[in-house]
Chain A
Amino acid sequence: MAHEGPPVDTDHLARLYRQMFLIRRCEEEAARAYAMGKIGGFLHLYIGQEAVGVGALAALESKDHVVTTYRDHGIALAKGMTARAMMAELFGKETGCSKGLGGSMHMFDAANGMHGGYGIIGGHIPLAAGIAFASKYKEDGGVTLCFFGDGAVPIAGFHEGIGLAALWKLPIVFICENNEYSMGTPLSRTLPTSEVANYARGYGIPSDRFVAEDVLEVERRIGEAVKLAREANIPTLVEVKTYRFRGHSMSDPGKYRTPEEVEARKQRDPLFRARTQLELHWDMARLDALEASVEEEVADAVKFADESPEPTAELLAPTTYDGPFAS
């Protein structure tokens, strides 16, 4: 693939590729562990969407904040959570990011500004606006990224969260990861418009809309919205077209999509695209070493998660209330 445009910072591209590859491999191993019964409940994989989270978070500074929906493992890793903490959480272990109390849908890493994955569609969107509100109140220059799926667009939280952020000019970027399906229902049957970005007009805020095929392009486009948020307190609604290669969750055979459709999308896998870009600049040995380091990190994370202790009941009361229990 011929490289076009400005020269690529290959070290930077390699960092992003490494993150995407780490997420892909963590998710694949999570799926395997799920099949082995080591992970329970729901498991929503980010496979296919990695370029969105990795590209978007590359546009942030470390002091910035992120909030997302229940498809949150990839975002958590991209915001700096260790593979160990992420995998141990999936395994329900005390060493997990949320001490094994949150699980797949509730990845939190306060120190890294990863303020959670949330399981109620749209409920986290006003909450994200509140984190942006706090940045403006404290004048700390922080920006919040709020991710959600196209399935969140019809619910009140989307409209109230964006409405308040627009009204009060909060430093936030709303990122709709439009993977075309609200669980098993295509967008054409859930929204009266084919473009989520159209909703920005009613709230008087700018919007952007693009396909997440190139992680650097995602970084650049989200970066523009982040700049607007940071410098002018103008929120943006960004619709990022993406695709998940797996079902909605592990229990979803995905019969609402044809194998041909899924295969066609896999042919345009942003992960491979990033690798191909990198191949133009790096020799194979270097790439192999990078990928081997990821394999090592993932294997270590799985082993760590497997061998870690379970949380005990002593954790329950102090994590329910700060201070004395109220009963």
Chain B
Amino acid sequence: MSRTLRYREALREAMIEEMERDPNVFLMGEEVGHYQGAYKVTEGILEKFGEKRVIDTPIAEGGFAGLGIGAAMVGLRPIVEFMTWNFSAVAFDQILNNAAKVRQMSGGQYTCPIVFRGPNASARQVGSQHSHAMEHFYTHVPGLKVIAPAFAADAKGLMKTAIRDNNPVLVMESETLYNTKGEVPDDQGPIPFGVANVVRTGKDVTIVAYSRMTHVALEAAEKLAKLGVSAEVIDLRTLRPLDEDTIVASVKKTHRCVTVHEGWPYGGVGAEISDRVQRLAFDYLDAPILRVASLDVPMPYNAKLEQQCMPQPERVVDTVLRVVHRG
């Protein structure tokens, strides 16, 4: 049996179930309690668990991120919400230098079971400082895990895994996905990290995406089908660990690969995938691997320019046509 849930409800259910399961799990962030969550992901959780376990913080991301890390080092399991991942920039030192490194620099004496979560990448016309795709910064860091679900069921299952993981896990949600609906099995349990989903099968090209871009890729695949191109779409679900086996198996079949993500083209997740595919499937490739990313500029406010900067289905289609018409 399954129910139709919004993406935000799936996340909320996962947190509630894990908080019921483990009294050491607590939730902390700006507006998560009395305000019911800036994006209503945490709606009702304060009423359920009380102020001891649902803690409104002042606007001090570096402070409460660091506080969560300290608490995690001595046995608690914090879920730290960033109102958006953009604001994690002022907590970057805590995530990079403390959460990711305390285990190694102590010779393995500590685990740091902490979840950092919040909406990531563009919303709608929120300007350059509020539109960052932060996963590219964080996937670079050993010691961290980074996940980016695209569908409600995955949001629930992966969030449960994140809370139970003994390492710092960064959950990249999306403001533009919170309202989307999906079928979630009644008994949706934890979903293992490092397992991608083939969400559409095809034979001519492999499109690799995650988070909201999975939906963009699926839309592009529809358009491509009308043009006679059969596209396979992989939804990564988790970025670190990265399921390179699924990507490579698909590319060995299609012989072409296009990656789609928000965020700038210099480096990043698409470049990482491109490196792995050329290393692991070089002899199978019939075309260069191309990347669809945000344009290489800070995000403009103007609605039309913003759309132009973000990866659109049309740009994915154009990019795919460039690789299928080659070789």
- Chain A residues within 8 Å of B, Cβ to Cβ: 65, 67, 96-102, 106, 108-110, 115-116, 118-120, 123-135, 137-138, 156-157, 160-161, 163-164, 167-168, 315-316, 318-327
Measured between beta carbons, the chain A residues less than 8 angstroms from B76 are 133-134, 137-138
5 extra A-B contacts, CB within 8 A, seeds A130-B69, A164-B58: A102-B105, A108-B109, A125-B66, A322-B111, A326-B194
Q: Which of B91-99, B176-184, B253-261 contacts A (4 or more CB under 8 A)?
A: B91-99
Most buried by A among B69, B104, B143: B104
Q: Check B145 for interface membership: any CB of A closer than 8 A.
A: yes
A-contact 0/1 string along B17-33, CB 8 Å cutoff: 00000000010000000
Decide: A319 near B70, CB < 8 A? Known: A163-B58, A326-B240.
no
Measured between beta carbons, the chain B residues less than 8 angstroms from A135 are 74
Q: Check B7 for interface membership: any CB of A closer than 8 A.
A: no
Query: By the criterion CB–CB under 8 Å, are B142 and A320 in contact?
Result: yes
> Given the complex of chains A and B, what is the CA–CA distance between A323 and B241 in angstroms?
12
Q: Check B158 for interface membership: any CB of A closer than 8 A.
A: no
> What are 6 contact pairs spanning A and B, CB under 8 A?
A127-B67, A129-B63, A130-B69, A164-B57, A315-B108, A326-B240
Shortest Cβ distance from B99 into A: residue: A127
Query: By the criterion CB–CB under 8 Å, are B64 and A164 in contact?
Result: yes
Query: By the criterion CB–CB under 8 Å, are B106 and A323 in contact?
Result: no
Query: By the criterion CB–CB under 8 Å, are B52 and A137 in contact?
Result: yes
Q: Check B202 for interface membership: any CB of A closer than 8 A.
A: no
* Residues 59 to 87 of chain B near chain A (Cβ within 8 Å): 60, 62-76
Shortest Cβ distance from A126 into B: residue: B66
**Interface residue count on the B side (C-beta < 8 Å):** 48
Measured between beta carbons, the chain A residues less than 8 angstroms from B241 are 324-327
Query: By the criterion CB–CB under 8 Å, are B167 and A323 in contact?
Result: yes
Query: By the criterion CB–CB under 8 Å, are B107 and A319 in contact?
Result: yes
Query: By the criterion CB–CB under 8 Å, are A110 and B106 in contact?
Result: yes
> Given the complex of chains A and B, what is the CA–CA distance between A133 and B64 in angstroms?
11
Shortest Cβ distance from A65 into B: residue: B74
Measured between beta carbons, the chain B residues less than 8 angstroms from A137 are 26, 52, 71, 76
Measured between beta carbons, the chain B residues less than 8 angstroms from A108 are 105-107, 109-110
Shortest Cβ distance from A317 into B: residue: B142
Decide: A99 near B73, CB < 8 A? Known: A123-B97, A160-B63.
no
Query: By the criterion CB–CB under 8 Å, are B66 and A161 in contact?
Result: yes
Shortest beta-carbon distance, A319 to chain B, in Å?
4
Shortest beta-carbon distance, A159 to chain B, in Å?
8
Q: Check B188 for interface membership: any CB of A closer than 8 A.
A: no
Measured between beta carbons, the chain B residues less than 8 angstroms from A110 are 106, 109-110
Query: By the criterion CB–CB under 8 Å, are B94 and A126 in contact?
Result: yes
* Residues 108 to 130 of chain B near chain A (Cβ within 8 Å): 108-111
Q: Which residue from A101, A116, A321 sits with its C-beta under 8 Å from B167? A: A321
Query: By the criterion CB–CB under 8 Å, are B167 and A322 in contact?
Result: yes
